[in-house]
Amino acid sequence: MISKAEIKTIASYKQAKHRNEEEVYIVEGVKMVDELLISNQEIEILCATKEYNNPDQVRAKKVLEIKEDDLKRISSLSTPNQVLAVVKRQEAKIPIIKSKIVLVLDNIKDPGNLGTIIRIADWFGIEDIICSENTVDLYNPKTIQSTMGSIFRVNVTYYNLSQFLSLVPKGHPIYGTIVEGGKNIYKEALTKEAIIIIGSESHGISSAIRDLITHPITIPSFSIAQSAESLNASIATSIIVSEFKRREV
């Protein structure tokens, strides 16, 4: 059975400061933890109610039985679901940009958007996402939950984007999504090897990064009234990546 001290420690991981100090993150819920248990992630602690039954849970270094009331105390979910795991962070791999599509995220602030973009990347077979240093924390509980397990399969790294993009080999296509002045994505030639930059929800791609774009693109609006709000980052990512992949079929 879990102790009061363990409850206090795990509850502290709701705060980024404590997660960063211990280099851990939290995974919650039956579906997410089931995905976790078949991944290569290192599980420090698994807290489960009697109802949770997965034979792979023995893979965790420590398995603790927990009551529902105590699970609510350590959970970030409005409705906790049987199980919570404390996972050791893995060192991200150096991204490979050659011969494939790579997503670059510039100043994405919403954790749900980041998580959804990771999920989209996983669906379309994109292995690397490169984030600006001011993009929201990958290990924010809302980000983790929004990935629906895709975080275990997509390599996410953080860089100074100006420096990173300036080192991209000459001639390597860098597409950037802009609202005005970009070429219609449905008419523009798209390549199998590309960097695709997605800008922030409110300000788009920053001016310093925009100067490094070689192929500015836009998603045209078909709204009759032409008054629809601009697409959020995750929806735009889904449309753009889908169009790139459609050309490969």
* Measured distance CA(88)–CA(246) in Å, rounded: 37
Number of domains in the chain: 2
Q: Which CATH number does the domain housing residue 216 bear?
A: 3.40.1280.10
Confidence tier at 228 by pLDDT (50, 70, 90): low
pLDDT reported for residue 202: 80
* Measured distance CA(18)–CA(147) in Å, rounded: 22
Shared domain check, 81 and 169: no
Instruction: Note whether residue 148 is domain-resident.
Output: yes
Instruction: Note whether residue 172 is domain-resident.
Output: yes
Final residue before a domain boundary, out of 57, 88, 119: 88
pLDDT reported for residue 188: 95
Q: Stretch 170-177: mean pLDDT, rounded?
A: 95
Instruction: Note whether residue 12 is domain-resident.
Output: yes
CA distances from 9 to 35, 54, 73, 124, 218 (A): 24, 24, 11, 37, 46
Q: In 3-state terms, what secondary structure has residue 147?
A: helix
Final residue before a domain boundary, out of 88, 121, 156: 88
Instruction: Note whether residue 95 is domain-resident.
Output: no
Shared domain check, 114 and 232: yes
Shared domain check, 179 and 70: no
Whether residue 146 contacts residue 115, with contact meaning beta carbons closer than 8 Å, is answered with: yes
Instruction: Note whether residue 236 is domain-resident.
Output: yes
Shared domain check, 84 and 107: no
Residue 179 neighbours by CB distance under 10 Å:
14
Confidence tier at 249 by pLDDT (50, 70, 90): confident
Final residue before a domain boundary, out of 88, 109, 130: 88
Reported as a single tens digit per residue, the pLDDT across 186-208 is 999 999 999 999 998 788 999 99
* Measured distance CA(147)–CA(121) in Å, rounded: 10
| Predicted TM-score of the model (pTM) | 0.94
Instruction: Note whether residue 62 is domain-resident.
Output: yes
- Per DSSP (E only), the strands in 94-237 are 101-105, 128-132, 155-159, 174-177, 183-184, 194-198, 215-218
pLDDT reported for residue 227: 59
Shared domain check, 51 and 155: no
Reported as a single tens digit per residue, the pLDDT across 8-40 is 999 999 999 999 999 999 999 999 999 999 999
**Backbone conformation region of residue 23, classed left if phi is above 0, alpha if psi is from -120 to 50, else beta:** left
Q: Stretch 211-230: mean pLDDT, rounded?
A: 84
Range of the domain at 71: 4-88
Shared domain check, 187 and 148: yes
Shared domain check, 213 and 111: yes
CA distances from 205 to 34, 49, 60, 106, 161 (A): 36, 45, 41, 6, 11
Q: Which CATH number does the domain housing residue 83 bear?
A: 3.30.1330.30
Instruction: Note whether residue 9 is domain-resident.
Output: yes
Instruction: Please state at what angle helix 111-123 crosses helix 233-248, rounded to 10 degrees.
Output: 10
Angle at 194 between CA 185 and CA 97, to 5 degrees: 160
Instruction: Note whether residue 94 is domain-resident.
Output: no
pLDDT at 229 over 80: no
* Measured distance CA(119)–CA(150) in Å, rounded: 5
